[in-house]
Homo-oligomer: A and B are copies of this chain.
Amino acid sequence: MNLRDLDYICAVADHKHFGRAADSCHVSQPTLSGQIKKLEAQLGVTLFERSHKGIRVTDIGEDIISIAREAREAAQRIKSVAASAQDPLAGNLSLGLIPTIAPYLIPLFVSQLQSAMPKMSVAYREDITDRLNEALLNGELDVAVLATPPEEDSLTAIELYSEPFWLLFPEGHELGTFKNASMKDVKEDDVLLLTEGHCFRDQALSICRPAQKARRQSLRATSLETLINLVASGQGVTLVPALAMRGGWSPEMGLMSHELTDKGAERQIYLTYRKRFPRVGAVQALATLIQDGLPESVRVA
């Protein structure tokens, strides 16, 4: 049996005439006759009672043809579902972001996303790099905004932007007298960091002098917001990524900041996805959309 055979019998049932049915299927009449004859033989059932007056559909023929229509309709639905999925800017996309990016980046593109890709529905997930990578690998996630390049061979990434680090310190701190800041100006045990697992912790540590690295085990914040509040309350200074500076909180909260002048005081942000992920178009579109929404405080490659 064959979907085409089902087309043929439905056409004959509709036209009650082999020749016209054949025309409607764009095949010759012998083709249609032959295929229907074969199908009848396979099923062991006569679908049509042929006579020169006209075609009569047998009782069993009626039954079978109505099921055939269901099958054809399903096949048709497959085609239209596939056709409407053609659009790379449609469908579901699950997007992961790390906690030091999500709250600052998402507002920069969500509304644009809605208007530019209304048929794309994005599910967000905020988690630390390791877990996002894992989710990418097992297919729970389609794409992720990460601050580390992919390590697995099966992953690849688009470079989104590079994000400078800023030094955040409380009002009245001696750094306030400086025009700009470098890590050299920071006291070793003055730097507050995130808890382990946050990649930004490692990135911040990597631009500290070696001596600093072992210190301050006791004070670790679980989020950037907490960290900032700690700084505001005079517990020390910290580094924040540029996008986190977008909030208007600095003056009111008694916080001051300098962009760091140190070379390498920045991190590269990637849009990571599986190499085999089929909807590269959607990923590309998302990357461009994110980049278009970025402020000038970060540098797009």
Contact = CB atoms under 8 A, between A and B. Distances in A.
A185 interface: no
Given A50-B276, A81-B60, A86 B154 contact: no
Given A51-B154, A276-B49, A276-B50, A78 B71 contact: yes
B1 A1 contact: no
Interface stretch (A62-70, A236-244, A283-291): A62-70
Given A46-B279, A70-B74, 13 more contacts: A2-B2, A3-B3, A3-B71, A44-B83, A44-B86, A45-B86, A49-B276, A49-B278, A60-B81, A60-B82, A64-B81, A67-B77, A71-B78
Interface in A68-113: 68, 70-71, 74-75, 77-79, 81-83, 85-86, 91-92
Interface residues of A, number: 40
A185 B279 CA distance: 100
B67 A81 contact: yes
Interface in A244-295: 274, 276-279
Interface in A18-53: 43-46, 49-51, 53
User: Which of A43, A67, A83 has the most C-beta atoms of chain B within 10 angstroms of its own C-beta?
Assistant: A67
A-B residue pairs, 8 tightest by C-beta: A46-B278, A43-B82, A71-B74, A60-B85, A70-B74, A45-B82, A56-B139, A49-B276
Contacts of A58: 278-279
A86 B42 CA distance: 11
A1 B2 CA distance: 9
A61 to B, nearest CB: 9
A14 interface: no
A49 B274 contact: yes
A116 to B, nearest CB: 21
A130 interface: no
A60 to B, nearest CB: 4
Nearest to A274: B49
A92 to B, nearest CB: 6
A60 B278 CA distance: 11
A68 to B, nearest CB: 6
A67 B56 contact: no
A134 interface: no
A196 interface: no
A59 interface: yes
Contacts of A70: 70, 74
